[in-house]
Amino acid sequence: MNTVLVIQSLISGIMMGSVYALLGVGFSLTWGVMKVIHISHAAFGLLGAFLAYTLLKAWGLDPILSLGVSVPLLFILACVIYRFLIAPITKAKEVIVASMIVTFGIAIILENVMLLIWSPDPRLLTTSYTSKVLILGPLYFQYPRLAGFLMSAVGVLVIHLFLKKTYTGKAVRAAWQQREAAQLYGVNLKRISMITFGLAVASAGAGGVGMAFLYSFEPHAHNIWLIYLFLVVIVGGVGNVIGAALAGLIIGVITGLSLAFLPYQWVNLLTFGLLMVILVIRPQGLFKGEV
């Protein structure tokens, strides 16, 4: 067995997994805190990728720097959507079913808007460092993958610190753990839910840019991304930020190693097969479902 190939594949998998983690953290939060399965989460991530692409082509703004524009915009958009579409369904008897139906509709609308604006053609984030490679001995690191990895690692860390160190973050955790008790201590659940939804969508936008560093993308790509979101959340534990991060890394490593030694058509079969085995052994996921 080629040791260098194994190490290189492992590193590539970790880089991919970190992006899956950032994209999946917000999905996990809305599911855990609000009981909302946000089917359009990946579509918002894709919207973040298209915004980065547009800002890069129009003004030469680096995709990472473009997050300073896209993340606040997506947060505001998410708060508006929460106010008029998500908040009413949280009062439904079957919140999960209602949320899946409504957010599926939002995903279809977003997909068609992206088709109208950007057309169905695949796009690539081509920056000044796209073709550059960092070489360390026998190992090499593509700059775009490094950028996506670092951005994702920082993003997950920021969300984790927000939840652990800030008053609002602690209120989000309280709402997840004991909703009634949180209300008794003065936590405004409507406000916390709106912030959670906004934070989740904003993080999806950042995760979408990370995915655009790894793959080409087009308006239908969110359907494939959504599958990985479910894997990250189910394996990592619903509502668990660190669990989602670790699950993303696990999925990335499995995918990276599989690509090195198997034909491409077998990769998804192995990835999903191993994850099914994990869930048979631990149906609740590998990690405790806790924010």
- pLDDT tens-digit readout, 99-155: 999 999 999 999 999 999 999 999 999 998 988 998 888 888 899 999 999 999 999
DSSP code of residue 287 = S
Cβ atoms of 152 and 145 within 8 Å: the answer is: no
Alpha helices in the chain (DSSP H): 3-34, 41-59, 67-81, 87-89, 95-118, 143-165, 167-177, 179-184, 189-214, 222-236, 241-261, 264-281
pLDDT per residue as tens digits for the range 206-237 = 999 999 999 999 999 999 999 889 888 888 87
Region 63-88: mean pLDDT is 96
Residue range of the domain that includes 90: 3-281
Domain at 70, CATH number: 1.10.3470
Reported as half-sphere exposure (CB side, CA atoms, 13 A), residue 62 has a value of 9
Angle of helix 41-59 versus helix 222-236 axis, rounded to 10: 130
What is the pLDDT at residue 237?
A: 79
CA torsion, points 168, 172, 177, 183, in degrees to nearest 10? 70
Cβ atoms of 69 and 42 within 8 Å: the answer is: no
- Within a domain: 290: no
Q: How confident is the model at residue 15 (pLDDT cuts 50, 70, 90)?
A: very high
Cβ atoms of 244 and 291 within 8 Å: the answer is: no
What is the pLDDT at residue 289?
A: 55
What is the pLDDT at residue 1?
A: 57
What is the pLDDT at residue 92?
A: 84
What is the pLDDT at residue 56?
A: 96
Cα separation, 113 vs 175, whole angstroms:
34
- Within a domain: 65: yes
- Within a domain: 289: no
Token pair listed for 264: 């491409």
Token pair listed for 178: 């004991």
Lookup result for tokens 């509709």: 105
Region 4-31: mean pLDDT is 91
- Within a domain: 287: no
Q: How many CB atoms lie within 10 A of CB 150?
A: 14
Cβ atoms of 208 and 150 within 8 Å: the answer is: no
* Amino acid letter, residue 185: Y
Cα separation, 266 vs 264, whole angstroms:
5
- Within a domain: 226: yes
Asked if pLDDT for residue 275 goes beyond 90, the answer is no
Between 115 and 266, name the one with better pLDDT.
115
What is the pLDDT at residue 227?
A: 87
* Amino acid letter, residue 18: S
pLDDT per residue as tens digits for the range 159-201 = 999 998 988 888 888 877 777 776 766 778 888 889 999 999 9
Quick check: helix, strand or coil at residue 96?
Answer: helix
Tell how strand 139-142 and strand 133-136 pair up. Answer: antiparallel
Q: What is the mean pLDDT of the chain?
A: 89
Radius of gyration of the chain (CA): 19
- Within a domain: 64: yes
Asked if pLDDT for residue 23 goes beyond 80, the answer is yes
* Amino acid letter, residue 92: A
DSSP code of residue 83 = I
What is the pLDDT at residue 291?
A: 57
- Domain total in the chain: 1
Q: How confident is the model at residue 263 (pLDDT cuts 50, 70, 90)?
A: confident
